Amino acid sequence: MKINPWASPLLIGAVALIFCSTLRAKEVQLLNVSYDPTREFYQDYNRAFTKYWKEKTGETVTVRQSHGGSGKQARSVIDGLEADVVTLALAYDIDAIAERGKLLGVKWQTQFPRNSAPYTSTIVFLVRKGNPKGVQDWDDLVKPGVSVITPNPKTSGGARWNYLAAWGFALKKYGNDAQKAKEFVRQLYKNVPVLDSGARGAMTTFAQRGIGDVFISWENEAYLASAELGKDKFEMVVPALSILAEPPVAVVEKVAQRHGTETVAKAYLEYLYSLEGQKIAAKHYYRPREKGAWASSPVSFAELKLFTVEEFGGWQKAHNTHFSDGGIFDQIYKP
């Protein structure tokens, strides 16, 4: 075999060229680092925002997306994933970016109205068609023989909402007796055969692999899964009491400053609060803050009593008590 000694430098040159062309970027770019269930929503929203921004300023903005488990995404941003904005599942994850990454101020949650959460959701149950186990409320999840699917609250943001919703229900039921609430949640997790690491993985376990009788889920995710995977397979059960899930958004100040994208990043998140943004959120089964946008949803959101994470003294406190190493979740869940 004869190798032309000029071949390899040429090849390397060619490769370098491809390299440069992928790195080159001219128009305004934003990177939105988000969590799993928002993929479809932001695909729609980005299109609307691009159009709005073009009309308003004449600038062409391209929004790139990255999705994954909320905690993992926060970790990536801390490690240098250059997000101009983050739209995550819970405030704790953005707190982590503020504290460990020092990429935005600790008071970030006052950047935008309503706790920087432009849309909300809640935690509901998805059961198999006909509801064979007769699940109506949180009480039914601790019954023996009911198999419950929920992801691991140590790794999944959605699972933390699930856990706190169950805990909040138990507190109400037992008149704020924390010991009894702990016992209730322990019973619930005894009924969980497998803890997936993220909400989408847990959904696949329930829907595709057919494991479990009840899937505790974000309301928006439950609607989406019913629409995508067939309405004839699942039914949604809304408990009488649940938690108000507030997925927050924030501009990652340090990164946006370096990219020179502060203005457009801020406008991008502000537009979520506009009627147009709210309507898109509603269309993707999120509960918009603006009541006027509720009619844009293909579903009618059920009325239920909602409590917030403030019941637990905010995310920092909830995290330290329940989800930190050696916290209550570690005490009650022994695989």
- Please tell me whether residue 17 binds other proteins under the rule CB under 8 A: no
| Distance, CA of 59 to CA of 57 (rounded, Å) | 5
Among the candidate windows 5-13, 138-146, 244-252, 272-280, which touches other proteins by CB under 8 A? 5-13
Considering the complex, what minimum distance in angstroms separates the CB of residue 80 from other proteins? Answer: 4
Determine the Cα angle at 185 with ends 126 and 159, to 5°. 50
Considering the complex, what minimum distance in angstroms separates the CB of residue 313 from other proteins? Answer: 28
Tokens 């340090």 locate to: 254
Which of 48, 52, 68, 240 lies at the binding interface for other proteins (CB under 8 A)? 68
Among the candidate windows 74-82, 143-151, 157-165, 243-251, which touches other proteins by CB under 8 A? 74-82
C-beta of 194 vs 302, nearer to other proteins? 194
# residues near other proteins by CB under 8 A: 33
C-beta of 54 vs 102, nearer to other proteins? 102
Considering the complex, what minimum distance in angstroms separates the CB of residue 200 from other proteins? Answer: 5
CA distance to 144, 157, 162, 262, 315, per residue, from 190 (Å): 9, 20, 15, 47, 25
34 touches 86 (CB < 8 A):
yes
- Please tell me whether residue 11 binds other proteins under the rule CB under 8 A: yes
Considering the complex, what minimum distance in angstroms separates the CB of residue 18 from other proteins? Answer: 6
Considering the complex, what minimum distance in angstroms separates the CB of residue 152 from other proteins? Answer: 17
- Touching other proteins, residues 180-209 (CB under 8 A): 200, 204
Which of 47, 64, 114, 317 lies at the binding interface for other proteins (CB under 8 A)? 64
Directed axis angle between helix 157-173 and helix 70-78, to 10°?
A: 130
Q: How far is Cα of residue 310 from the mean position of the Cα atoms in its chain?
A: 19
| Distance, CA of 157 to CA of 86 (rounded, Å) | 14
3 state SS of 211: coil
**Amino acid making up residue 327:** G
- Please tell me whether residue 179 binds other proteins under the rule CB under 8 A: no
Considering the complex, what minimum distance in angstroms separates the CB of residue 22 from other proteins? Answer: 6
Considering the complex, what minimum distance in angstroms separates the CB of residue 77 from other proteins? Answer: 9
**Amino acid making up residue 281:** A
Which of 65, 257, 296, 308 lies at the binding interface for other proteins (CB under 8 A)? 65
- Please tell me whether residue 100 binds other proteins under the rule CB under 8 A: yes
Tally: H helices and E strands in the chain = 14, 11
- Touching other proteins, residues 210-269 (CB under 8 A): 224-225, 228-229
Considering the complex, what minimum distance in angstroms separates the CB of residue 314 from other proteins? Answer: 25
Among the candidate windows 31-39, 107-115, 172-180, 322-330, which touches other proteins by CB under 8 A? 31-39
Phi and psi, residue 296, nearest 5°: -75, -10
Which of 48, 52, 82, 274 lies at the binding interface for other proteins (CB under 8 A)? 82
Question: At CB < 8 A and 24+ separation, what contacts does 160-164 make?
Answer: 160/89, 160/90, 160/92, 160/318, 160/322, 160/323, 161/89, 161/90, 161/123, 161/218, 161/243, 161/245, 162/123, 162/216, 162/217, 163/322, 163/323, 163/329, 164/243, 164/309, 164/312, 164/318, 164/322
C-beta of 1 vs 295, nearer to other proteins? 1
- Residues interacting with other proteins, by CB under 8 A? 1, 3, 8, 11-12, 15, 18-19, 22-23, 31, 36, 39-40, 64-68, 76, 78-82, 100-101, 200, 204, 224-225, 228-229
